[in-house]
A = this chain, B = another copy of it.
Amino acid sequence: MKLVIVGATGAVGSEIMSILAERSSFDGVDVTPVASARSAGRKLPYRDGNLEVVALDDGVFDGADLALFDVPDEVSREWAPRAVARGATVIDNSAAWRMDDDVPLVVPEVNPHDAQNVPKGIIASPNCTMLALVLPVAALHRRFILARLIVSSYQAASGAGKGGVDELWDQIETVAKEPDLVSRGLAREVLEGRETFGHPLAMNVIPQIGSPRDNGYTSEELKVGEETRKVLGAIGLPVTATCVRVPTMVGHGVSIHAEFHQPVSADEARSVLAESPGVEVVDDPANDVYPTPQIAAGRDPCFVGRIRQDLEDPNALELFAVADNLRKGAALNTVQIAELLLQA
């Protein structure tokens, strides 16, 4: 069994390597890290030793069973079919293939069966924000049938890649020298918008992620709806999202208003969620127990709490969920899809 990781030197790529190393399903699997030519020859730690990074080329896919891609959309659009042509099944983490009718979009806890039908040789892994939403929502949908979702997100800088992390870090160092301005809310006087984000992110909130579209929504907000419908197999489910960047490094949060076709109490919801794979209920507000990005960072589950029935609509629930956007939101889900294929 040979497995290739394309984009192995990136933040998600490194996370994929470390998750593969943790999991016994990949014992004995031959792993090849692939990246752009300028990273070729670099050594990456893997299990007890190191693996040498190989430059991306058609040859790297010869004899490969699986190729895990974490690269920009345009690179995936070009290279995923080339990997398939050499015989590999591609598991892709970009947005390039997610909405293609011939490409399944898979969350292993939710729709594992979709990974059995792979006409193009490509399986897509969803957007990181949608992954914080879909695990609790899918579990509730199976039992109570969703009628509508209204979501506001609290997304970390690492969702924008290493550039986002570095930019926020630089800004934190800058504001830490300015107690007076910062305490008065005037961090804007020492910060500037930079390359990754349109405005300073430290001590701020940026209510726009992705590219604006003519209907006023952003690409990110539309993805949340489209991908949720596809994974749930819930064609026509109304989903509206507002995606907001907050000054955290890791862990995407979502405030969820979920309407169902029948009444749902908080207790019923809590007991369904407590039995759902990949979900961990943390819901004891009187003792300050609720999901936060710092609780979720570096951990696998989607944490969910603040579960309550809408006071005026017995068919609606409010919830707050957080998942590590680099793990469940990207690397872990990709590896879990690979495991599904290994078991098949």
Residues of the B chain whose Cβ atoms lie less than 8 Å from the Cβ of A59:
none
Residues of the B chain whose Cβ atoms lie less than 8 Å from the Cβ of A188:
294-295, 297
Asked if A7 CB lies within 8 Å of chain B CBs, one says no
- Asked, given contacts A152-B255, A307-B216, whether A297 binds B207 with beta carbons under 8 Å apart, the answer is no
Cα A81 to Cα B116 in complex, Å, equals: 72
- Asked, given contacts A176-B172, A176-B173, A312-B238, whether A292 binds B182 with beta carbons under 8 Å apart, the answer is no
| Chain B residue nearest to A320 in the complex (CB) | B207
Cα A293 to Cα B204 in complex, Å, equals: 6
Asked if A83 CB lies within 8 Å of chain B CBs, one says no
- Which of A67-75, A86-94, A240-248, A273-281 is near enough to bind chain B? A240-248
Query: Is B205 within 8 A of A293, CB to CB?
Result: yes
Asked if A156 CB lies within 8 Å of chain B CBs, one says yes
A214 to chain B, nearest CB (A): 10
- Asked, given contacts A176-B176, A285-B212, A308-B217, whether A247 binds B249 with beta carbons under 8 Å apart, the answer is no
Return the contact of A285 from the options B218, B288, B307 (Cβ within 8 A): B218
Residues of the B chain whose Cβ atoms lie less than 8 Å from the Cβ of A251:
185, 205
Query: Is B248 within 8 A of A205, CB to CB?
Result: yes
24 contacts between A and B (CB under 8 A): A154-B154, A154-B246, A156-B185, A172-B176, A185-B248, A185-B250, A185-B293, A204-B248, A204-B293, A205-B248, A205-B293, A206-B292, A207-B255, A215-B308, A215-B309, A216-B306, A216-B308, A217-B308, A238-B311, A240-B311, A240-B318, A242-B255, A244-B253, A244-B320
Chain A residues in the interface with B (C-beta under 8 A) = 148, 150, 152, 154, 156, 158, 165, 169, 172-173, 175-176, 179, 182-188, 191, 193, 198-200, 203-208, 212, 215-218, 225, 238, 240, 242, 244, 246-251, 253, 255, 257, 266, 285-286, 288, 290-295, 297-298, 305-313, 316, 318, 320, 322, 324, 326
